[in-house]
């Protein structure tokens, strides 16, 4: 098994994203659709997707806004954006472009976008208020920002994998002060942060969506280890002689959700939106 440093090197993570892009996209499809339906992009809109990674929900939005619209997929990683760009090229989406940039310092003039989205991104912004204020700056008056974040960590995808590791090794689930996927799991925390930044007509709701992996339990766990950087510190505390027992227990826990050739989890997510005054 690779060491934690090898697992989270940039090259390794990009390779993992490339390896699992099709199945990861399939697993996230229902959450992506939930966010896009919630955001309700219209034909002809100019849309910004922040922390777009390998291209979702930007690609799904591109299919909704049509060639008269435009969507910019923005991320810190140029390598992940190249995967997104290739996926868009294969779909013939010339109205999707990519931009490497920090969400806390957006390289766009004010009042540029009709809609902003982010799926599983905003909880990782180091300076969340700065990022939200930047989104307000680049949105047109009356335009919305719509986000999807993880709800409670007590849900099947995590409890059957990372949760098993945590029960065995103890300590903090994520590094103190580090990226926390569950930063906005508490009801009202994301909408409250948006209100504080200056968004108006703020709305928040919790939903449960299908979260289906088209493959084996072993693949689910391999993919999660390869791509879930926030849990690096947790996995680094596993002793070499613990891995065999842990892997077997995790595979068995995941198999409880097996249905035919798929692993059928559910995902508890929080959707939140706000409008630029």
Position 178 confidence tier, pLDDT thresholds 50, 70, 90: confident
The pTM for the full model equals: 0.92
The CATH number that applies at residue 244 is 3.40.50.150
How many domains does one find in the chain? 1
DSSP the chain: ---HHHHTSHHHHHHHHHHHHHHHHHHHHHHHHHHHHHH---TT-EEEEES-TTTTTHHHHHHHH-TTSEEEEEES-HHHHHHHHHHHHHHT-TTEEEEE--TTS--S-SS-EEEEEEES-GGG-TTHHHHHHHHHHHEEEEEEEEEEEE--S-SHHHHTTHHHHHHHH-S-SS-TTS--TTTT-STTHHHHHHHHHT-EEEEEEEEEEEEEESS-HHHHHHHHHHH-GGGHHHHHTS-GGGHHHHHHHHHHHHHTTEETTEEEEEEEEEEEEEE--
pLDDT for 201-252, tens place per residue? Answer: 999 999 999 999 999 999 999 999 988 889 999 999 999 999 999 999 999 9
Domain hosting residue 17, numbered range? 4-275
Binned at pLDDT 50, 70 and 90, residue 16 comes out as low
Q: What is the mean pLDDT of the chain?
A: 93
Question: pLDDT tens for residues 148-164?
Answer: 999 999 999 999 999 99
């Amino acid at each position: 098994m690779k060491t934690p440093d090898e697992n989270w090197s940039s090259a390794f993570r990009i390779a993992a994203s490339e390896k699992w892009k099709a199945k990861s996209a399939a697993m996230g499809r229902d959450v992506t659709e939930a966010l896009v339906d919630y955001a309700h992009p219209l034909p002809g809109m100019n849309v910004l997707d922040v922390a777009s990674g390998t291209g979702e929900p930007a690609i799904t939005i591109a299919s909704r806004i049509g060639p008269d619209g435009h969507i910019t997929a923005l991320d810190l990683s140029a390598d992940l954006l190249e995967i997104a760009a290739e996926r868009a090229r294969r779909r013939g989406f010339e109205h999707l472009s990519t931009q490497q940039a920090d969400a806390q310092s957006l390289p766009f003039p004010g009042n540029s976008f009709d809609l902003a989205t982010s799926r599983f991104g905003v909880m990782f912004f180091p300076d969340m208020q700065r990022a939200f204020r930047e989104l307000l700056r680049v949105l047109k008056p009356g335009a919305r920002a719509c986000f999807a974040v993880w709800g409670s960590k007590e849900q099947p995808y995590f409890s059957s994998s990372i949760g098993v590791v945590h029960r065995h090794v103890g300590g903090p689930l994520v590094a103190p002060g580090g990226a926390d996927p569950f930063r906005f799991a508490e009801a009202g925390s994301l909408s409250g942060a948006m209100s504080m930044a200056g968004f108006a007509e703020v709305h928040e709701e919790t939903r449960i969506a299908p979260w289906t992996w088209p493959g084996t339990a072993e693949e689910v766990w391999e993919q999660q280890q390869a791509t879930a950087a926030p849990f690096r510190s947790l996995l680094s505390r596993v002793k070499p002689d613990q891995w065999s027992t842990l892997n077997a227990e995790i595979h068995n826990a995941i198999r409880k959700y097996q249905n035919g050739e798929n692993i059928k989890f559910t995902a508890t997510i929080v959707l939140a939106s706000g409008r630029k005054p």
